[in-house]
Structure 1
């Protein structure tokens, strides 16, 4: 079968018409990591009435225990579908072993370090080849941290990023008990024997998560941990990143407190960086939770238009109260 790319083997796995949207699923085999079995599914959403017109590319990265359905439901709803209808060239990336991406041979050892070092650069290169312009990148939870790791580690070039949006992302807050060295080390040792952490763990879902990713997260948030891998200090590396950045946090979040989300944003050197807390105190209809800030009906009314404005202009519109804070 002829490859859809000149960079590395890419197969067009399916091309479907979903109502008013086209849905093309590509399977990338970059062959750029120590595990040669890695294949990555990348779904493109576009308007059916503009097949030959490419919009501005936008890449959406799901969080832990998730897949592309976080952004695009089978019946055509979700933020990804909505932004495609708004004219963006939307790309839904699925990490190794998630969604349509097959489980690689080293699945149990998968880490964010691998996503950042190998997978995101390959995805960025393919989208640049297809679209001819830098993409906007939006990540939820672990997806956003993967983007921060790729940028902080110098694996994703700033020239490939038109803007960055981090939703519910932080690197400084975890339940106090898991910061205790005996408990943290014990949990990591237990996970070394496991292939995966089952979907639904701690109320997460619907996908299983490789044990390696969970062990990596425990190391980051441990008492002596840091956001990095080996000699790479991703948090420190963000001081060299100057792309426009928006950070969203839900006032009702437990997994990522808004203060911690803001602390991550402050590590960037971007001249254009904004923080938005989504809660009643800031003039919103509810205190949004970790997933609800992007997936709920309220988010569709209140949050999605703000994201559209940010992606179009790299600044937020005026919002009620103190919801938006711009950094000089």
Structure 2
């Protein structure tokens, strides 16, 4: 590895957000904040052995922060300890605080990279607080969709049965969604957060479920930073290319879109997870993203 790893905790009074710092050995180029999706944590971006997009960017000179959202990963307390959080709290409190913290540490705009649902809540946060965009150098999303429009057997099993029915039932039973115990995902979820996602995934308007703030309308007047969305050829449900395109259309229509497919010159037909974890990604789109981020700094 060409970087060092350490942890810090951002105090949010009633809870703490864990950030894994991946810093290059030499002088850093630019700060990067990485935000994970549902039923996962910041480890989707890094490993202690140096694998993952976060480690790759740190090895290439970027100052990387991989966040664990409240109640997940190494954030304290964990959701299994009685911690509760809504989606609105994530949008209005955690994401602004994370961006502000990284910005203040380096006094320069932050590159925000998100996976899956992390891209949705990040877009909502930037649409709700337009001033935040001045502190964001670029926004990059992997497999981010707000609505799942695909109708398939996989959807009936994973979304209709598990996410919409079984997960809420388990959440009432345990007080949170124990996704790890039931092997549905890499981390657990707060009950209210889970319930909040269900309506958006089903196609409800892009408005806040707590106070009805209209994220869709605000998106149209938001001065977005450069935005790049990646979708994967074999992502047939959780970030289907057509749903990624629909999310782009309702948030930042000018965004760049890339489909990770062999037909487009990539080494693999990636899927929702392998787009961030496959060894081939390093020489494939990881390198492409690195070059784009470096180019942005010279423009």
Query: Is this contact kept in 2: 1:108–1:195, CA < 8 A?
Result: no
Work out which structure has the larger RCO, using CA pairs closer than 8 Å and 6 or more positions apart in sequence: 2
Instruction: Please identify runs of 4+ aligned residues in structure 1 that moved more than 6 A.
Output: none
Match of 2:22 among 45, 48, 52: 45
Displacement, 1:175?
A: 6.1
Residue 140 (str. 1) matches residue 121 (str. 2): no
Q: In the superposition, relative to structure 1, how do residues 196 and 155 fare at CA in structure 2: closer, same or farther (>3 Å)?
A: farther
Displacement of 1:280? 2.3
Paired residue secondary structure (1:303): helix
Larger Rg belongs to: 1
Matched with 2:95 is 120
Q: Which runs of 5+ in 2 are unaligned?
A: none
* Higher mean C-alpha displacement, 184-193 vs 154-163: 184-193
- Work out which of the residue numbers 263, 273, 286 in structure 2 matches 1:291: 273
Quote the Cα distance in structure 2 between the aligned partners of 1:84 and 1:234: 33
| 1:90 correspondence with 2:96 | no
Q: Superposition RMSD on alpha carbons, in Å?
A: 2.8
Trace 1:1-328 onto structure 2 (pairs within 5 A). Answer: 20-31=2-13, 37-48=14-25, 50=26, 53-103=27-77, 109-154=84-129, 157-173=132-148, 188=168, 191-200=171-180, 204-222=184-202, 224=204, 226-229=206-209, 230-241=211-222, 242-254=224-236, 255-269=238-252, 273-314=255-296
Q: How does the TM-score come out when normalised to structure 2?
A: 0.85
The 3 A distance-change label for structure 1 pair 224 and 135 is closer
Q: TM-score, normalised by structure 1?
A: 0.78
Q: Distance in 2 between matches of 1:24 and 1:69?
A: 13
Q: Are the structure 2 counterparts of residues 107 and 128 from structure 1 closer, same or farther at C-alpha, using a change threshold of 3 Å? A: farther
Bigger fraction of residues in helix: 2
**Corresponding pairs, count:** 286
